[in-house]
Chain A
Amino acid sequence: MMRQQKKPNLGRSPGVWLDDHLAQIFLIPALILIAGLIAYPAALTIYNSFTNLSMLTMKATKFVGFQNYATVLGGSEFWVSLRNSLVFTVGSISGQLILGMIGALALQRIPFGRTAFRVGLLVPWTFPSVAMTFVWDWMLDSGFGIINFALMGLGIIGEPIAWFGSRTWAMFSVIIMNIWFGAPFMMLALNAGLQTIPSDYYEVGKIEGANFFQRLRYIILPSLKKIVGVLLILRTIWVFNNYDFIFLTTGGGPAKATQTVSIMAYFTAWKRSAMGRGSAITILLLVFVAVMIALYFKFFKIDSEEA
């Protein structure tokens, strides 16, 4: 057998090597950025969750193992907050999705001035949360809010309702506020999705004699499945982690009726200086959201090629 001679690597100049690895090289800045902005804080939070880090001294004096997790999971406050987070998220996102879908379908039927309507309907989304919560706070005030005034004027209610001040209404009120805020985003994204459905589908539906609900069931919703999936993922992350709407209106009250996991984490870490325990709460929150996102991926088959 002839000994195979090793090929001289004459053509492997630095230029060729650069060409071969250009994609990886271009990824380096992004990877460094991701490591700095996501991986490092996440790793630090995980580390802190196993210590007794106090915001009073800015020091951790002990490695406490899983004690913070045990304390959090062993108390009722976390489970109440988790239930509230779920109610707030499911209530807000379903409302936003339904309203967004209605808005998107309505927009599609408008023959002219569609852009103006789109811009107009997008206004709530552009509001800074502080300004928005301030306005809602005063509109829903039981003493002089316009909502009570209108409802009483119409004879719908007999006496003023403490929208943010009662256990019955507080969660409902913050959900309504969040639906008002988030529906335009859904509407815009769904409207863009509707533009991608080939007109042939509608024509076939028309020939087959499909009514509106049948078109919705068999043409529109299946075509929008992936967009809805992505929207649900994005909105779930945002709403589940939302902190400012509730903090600025009810502060998590009354009697924890609107206290979500994010609010609990803030109170624990910042107001009560227990950053170690606060970090454990945020890690639990992260795990819970990750599980929900994984379920969305599975249900909506977002990463598959199937349309």
Chain B
Amino acid sequence: MRRVLSLVLCLLLMMSIVSVGAMAEAKPESITFWMGYSQQSRVDAMEAIGQKYYEQTGVKVNFEVVTWPNTAEKWRAAYSAGQMPDIIICLPDQAVAMFVAGATIPVDDVIEAIGGTEKFLDSVLTEQFYDGSYMAVPHYAHDRLLIYRKDALEAAGQSVPTTPEEYLAVTKAINDPPSYAFQQLFNASDYGSAFMLDIFMRTFGAQYFDESYRIVFDSEETVKAVEFLIDMYEAGSQPDAMDFIINDQFTLLNTGATLMTLDSAFTIKSALDSAPEVAEKMDVALAPANYITTFPVCVCDGENAETAKDFVRFMFEEDNYVDFLASYQPGMNPTMKATAAADSAFWKLPVFENALALKASQTQAEGIEQGGYSIGNQFGANPFSGVLTSGYVEEMFQDIIVNNVPVVDAVKVCAERMQEAVDEQKDALGW
């Protein structure tokens, strides 16, 4: 009897060990996905892809909209509380921060499962590579374009500007308050002027960092670029530039309060939807430098990581990927070569029957093809680019305009403040 009992107990023990092991490898019932896509069409597209995945695998994908600015705070709170989701789509500097903190894991295997790095456009992978591995898969990309009112340029007998000098000349020629030529975005809660300055700094041969991430902002070239943007402000912007943020661009363009700006094709989408009569008068061209932004998909370190990786791979299957891109056009350009190719299903989307939508997307594609980077990423992804978008540049412009601080002095102070912040971060990282 005792033998039988012992045998039964052993069997039960073995079964429990096996079942626990099986549970550890079993697919979860659901995974959680945070995304900055707040527009209903993008939410619907992502949910449709999630539904397809559920039908194929039985794993439900719960999408939660977390706006781009909120992601920076929310992931940190979630990470501290051990409540991270399984997948996050965020802004590039947030992706590095999460990776450095150990909240997300490398996705080299996901890129391999999608078909390898050669499946992606060259310029979109640079921002995803950090410390020897890929930390994210770029979902889509966009480039900052020159968006302008062709009626205003025609009326003033101006052609499309390409150099800083031409930009200033056109700004002076078309400025007609309350229709301002080129509104600046100096609000310190945002990074509107940091990115705008970055584009023009490149044309003047200036840069924020050197290769060892030492701030080299305090240079003659930077001073020239800052003076240029101050001239642009004085020639074609209203004083409220002090409180304008990037998202104000949509309203400023759609109401005719600005006639020219540098922004992505998302602004064209907004105009086509909200102010078609204004959109008819708009046109696009490449900006003086290619400021390319990618939107990284990151996989969080957790027990559902394998399933999360599988869903990311699924998102990039051709049909799913084009369905997602179709949900908001023009604006989101493909990061994959096959989808970006001229004969792909992407370019046959009905939205591109509109000439402006097609031109905006094609111009973005041209910029992405040429190559470029977003602020602070000229040497690849790094943890310090966030310093450049922390309001220092905006405060510098405010000091120059409001407190009449000489440009040279303001640039020097700004460079010192940024260097101090970079040093603190290097210290925290043990660099």
Contact B242 A250 (CB under 8 A): yes
Determine whether the beta carbon of B257 is less than 8 Å from that of A255.
Answer: no
Give chain B's interface secondary structure class: helix
Considering the complex, give the chain A residue whose CB is closest to the CB of B80.
A58
Separation of A174 and B333 alpha carbons in the complex (Å): 40
Per-residue CB contact flags for chain B residues 231-270 toward chain A (1 = under 8 Å, else 0) read 0000000111111010000000001010000000000000
> Is A27 interfacial (CB-CB < 8 Å)?
no
Binding site for A on B (CB under 8 A): 72-73, 76, 79-80, 97, 100-101, 103, 177-178, 180, 186-190, 238-243, 245, 255, 257, 383, 386-387, 390-391, 394-395, 398-399, 401-403, 421, 424-425, 427-430
- Assess the A162–B242 pair: CB atoms within 8 A: yes
B391 touches A257 (CB 8 A): no
Contact with B along A46-72 (1 / 0, CB 8 A): 000000101111110100000000000
How far, in Å, is A214 (CB) from chain B's closest CB? 46
Contacts A54-B425, A56-B428: A143 and B238 contacting too (C-beta < 8 A)? yes
CA distance A284 to B72 in the complex (A): 25
Q: Residue A298 at the B interface, CB < 8 A? A: no
A118 cross-chain contacts in B, Cβ below 8 A: none
Residue of B nearest to A137 (CB): B243
Which stretch, A102-110, A219-227, A266-274, touches the partner chain B? A266-274
Q: How far is the CA of A167 from the CA of B405 in the complex (A)?
A: 14
Chain A residues closer than 8 Å to B257, beta-carbon distance: 143-144
Residues of A within 8 A of B425 (CB): 54, 56, 273
> 8 smallest A-B Cβ distances: which pairs?
A251-B189, A162-B239, A54-B428, A165-B242, A165-B239, A254-B242, A255-B402, A251-B187
Decide yes or no: A253 and B242 within 8 Å by CB, A56-B429, A57-B428 being known contacts.
yes
Contact among A58, A141, A252, A253 with B101 in the assembled complex (CB-CB below 8 Å): A58
A255 touches B395 (CB 8 A): yes
Identify B97's interface contact among A56, A160, A254, A255, CB under 8 A: A56
- A165-B428 Cα distance, complex, nearest whole Å: 36
Inter-subunit contact A270/B72 (CB<8 Å): yes
Complex interface: chain A residues within 8 A of B401 (CB): 254-255
Interface presence of A256 (CB below 8 A): yes
Residues of A within 8 A of B421 (CB): 272-274
Q: In the docked arrangement, what's the CA distance between A164 and B391, Å?
A: 17
Residues of A within 8 A of B387 (CB): 272
Most chain B CB inside 10 Å of its own CB: which residue of A144, A167, A256, A267: A144
Known: A56-B97, A56-B100, A253-B188. A142 touches B239 (CB 8 A): yes
Cβ contacts under 8 Å, A297 to chain B: none
